Structure 1
Amino acid sequence: MKTGLFIFLLIIIHNNAFSQKELVVSHSKGIVEEYEVIKNGKNEIKDGSYIKYRNNVFGLQLLKSGSFREDFKTGHWKYYFEVGFGKAKNTLKEEGTYVFGKKQGVWRTYYPDSANDIVEKRNFTSKNKIDSIEIKVQNNFSKIRSQGLYLNSKKSSIWNYFNNEGELVQQYDHSKDSLIMDINFKIKDEVLDHPALFIGGDEQLNFYFLTGFNFGYLKDKIKIGKASVVITFKVTEDRKIKTIVSEESNVSKAIIKSLIKQISESEKQWLAAVKNGHRSNDQVWLKCTFDRVKEDNLTKFLIHFKQIHK
């Protein structure tokens, strides 16, 4: 009996010796990752807390935080806008829960204009070098952009979409692929007829194209003053995008080419039109406005995207 117990204890000690948790702190081009790993021989398995942030002349900028369990994302995760300065710095972009690496349960996305305060605590090694940085963020105010359920990393059931003032503007059932409510259209005879629409409404449309716009490459193509272009395309009854055409404008060809590429990649974001209760093909007019203003030594860029209903 004693021999069996001794062997059992040896096995536990042996396993523990090869499965110790360690904190890893990696640095790459100003990006810092801190996470816990279980080392088993040459293998490293992420298991425990995780944080990723940028540390530069603008200070600390959070990118994402959460936990891993045996190399799978688990529990509550937070993602932040990758803006290095201004009020949007350290602003929450989205948050929700993972189960075995898949999004599950309620998730929320936010608008990027909420101000947060960041508190920094530094932990030093014996050589007076920074070993890790503990970051705490106080969320003063976060405007919800959308909220709904995920099931195995796919949007499920009814999602609510809000404008920047917090007003509910659209409800869309992702399981049934159907529009439940839109602030611009009314149900008539128990049927919600509508043109082809962007899922989430006008502000989601503007947000989608703004965040996907290749500003770093195209900003020099935006001329001083205001310029706009209307791009038309067809959304078919099976939600395909066809026949993308730009009208004549003073917007550079490079920008128009980039916009056409963005539109062609946005098929999953559009709802087919419904007429008399049936899906149908529909024409979409997307107005893209660019304004470059010089004030003293500063240059401001104002970019806006809006669907025009005719």
Structure 2
Amino acid sequence: MKRILIAGLVLSAFTVAGQELKKITVNLKFLNSGLLIKEDYHVLKDDQKIWHGPYEKTKNNILIEQGQYKDNKKDSTWIKLGGYGDIVVKGNYAQGKKIGVWQYFTKEGELEQEYDFTKNELLYFKPEKTKKIYQIISDKETFYDSLSRPPLLIGGNHTYLQKLEDTFCNLHINTNYGGTVFVRFVIDETGKGSKYKTIKKGDSNLDDTALRIVRQLGNWLPAIRDGKPVKVVHVVPIVFDNISFVDAF
């Protein structure tokens, strides 16, 4: 996958709260796709390595992210928006760390998850449309049953799509023919994943990339059955669609 881009910088300066800041605009244009990513952020004029002040990110001139930096760390309220200006993620940072309640929405505008990062507590998750049967592994046996809560990623489908995008931006592979790779793995009672493998062997580039993406999803919130966390087998589809990122959950 080859991406050709043009980067440009635009600088300006103004003063906020007694500190003179310089505004920096970065334009990244992907010539093969016509995608234009633009970032506007601010740095201290006296030390331009320190980000400080408002931040905005647009995709093809549509705002997709907005927040604040304070002394090089994310601060205050941050939001991410969908293609129609609808909020898909909203929450607060303090000294670069997520705090308090964060909300994650589906592309239809429904609340998918609500998670309190201060208490490390899931407050709400959108139930599955159809109850799935999972393979459950215990010390004594392996059996199949439904769950009161499936294994969950904090951030839901948004986290999944972000990991897809981050991985593709850092890899150079040919995905022009596309395809779907199903990755099977085990999630234990603490949310840790292991034993990753593709269900059906296909193109080695796609298989290896899919495995890398799923491993980078990190720890999960464990599955719950009868009020207790359980170890389960989980399958995640990774969709390669000519460098397009497609909802798979």
1:30-65 deviations in Å (ceiling 9; x for gaps): 32223358xxxxxxxx94222112479899945211
Residues 288 and 279 of structure 1, relative CA distance in 2, 3 Å threshold: same
1:233, 1:80 → 2: CA distance?
36
1:286, 1:193 → 2: CA distance?
19
Equivalent position to 1:255, from 198, 203, 206: 206
1:210, 1:33 → 2: CA distance?
23
Q: How does 1:256-295 map to 2 (within 5 A)?
A: 256-268=207-219, 270-290=220-240
Q: What stretches of structure 2 of length at least 5 have no aligned partner?
A: 14-19, 129-146
Residues 243 and 305 of structure 1, relative CA distance in 2, 3 Å threshold: farther
2:35, 2:184 → 1: CA distance?
42
Residues 66 and 304 of structure 1, relative CA distance in 2, 3 Å threshold: closer
- SS of aligned partner of 1:217: coil
1:78 deviates by 0.8
- SS of aligned partner of 1:184: coil
2:157, 2:122 → 1: CA distance?
15
2:37, 2:183 → 1: CA distance?
36
Matched, 1:77 2:29: no
- SS of aligned partner of 1:197: coil
1:83-113 deviations in Å (ceiling 9; x for gaps): xxxxxx12323111111111111100122xx
2:245, 2:98 → 1: CA distance?
29
Q: What stretches of structure 1 of length at least 5 have no aligned partner?
A: 1-28, 38-45, 82-88, 115-140, 186-191, 292-299
Q: Structure 2: which amino acid aligns with 1:205?
A: Y
1:257 deviates by 0.7
Residues 304 and 56 of structure 1, relative CA distance in 2, 3 Å threshold: closer
Q: Is the 8 A contact 2:163 2:216 kept in 1?
A: no
2:243, 2:193 → 1: CA distance?
29
2:80, 2:159 → 1: CA distance?
11
1:166, 1:228 → 2: CA distance?
26
Paired residue for 2:183? 231
1:148-173 deviations in Å (ceiling 9; x for gaps): 11121111121100111211111111
Identical-pair percentage: 21
Paired residue for 1:92? 63
Paired residue for 1:136? none
Q: Is the 8 A contact 2:163 2:217 kept in 1?
A: no
Higher helix share: 1
Q: Is the 8 A contact 1:105 1:151 kept in 2?
A: yes
Paired residue for 1:151? 94
Equivalent position to 2:197, from 245, 248, 258: 245
Matched, 1:194 2:149: yes
Report 1 or 2 for greater relative contact order, CA contacts < 8 Å, sequence distance ≥ 6. Answer: 2
- SS of aligned partner of 1:98: strand
Q: How does 1:159-198 map to 2 (within 5 A)?
A: 159-184=102-127, 193-198=148-153
Normalised to the residue count of structure 1, the TM-score between the two structures is 0.60
1:261 deviates by 1.0
Matched, 1:102 2:73: yes
Q: Structure 2: which amino acid aligns with 1:229?
A: V
Matched, 1:35 2:35: no
1:243 deviates by 0.6
Residues 90 and 243 of structure 1, relative CA distance in 2, 3 Å threshold: same
Q: Structure 1: which amino acid aligns with 2:124?
A: M
1:285 deviates by 0.9
Residues 34 and 202 of structure 1, relative CA distance in 2, 3 Å threshold: closer
1:203 deviates by 5.0
Q: Is the 8 A contact 1:229 1:287 kept in 2?
A: yes
In our comparison, the structure showing a higher alpha carbon Rg is: 1
Matched, 1:142 2:85: yes
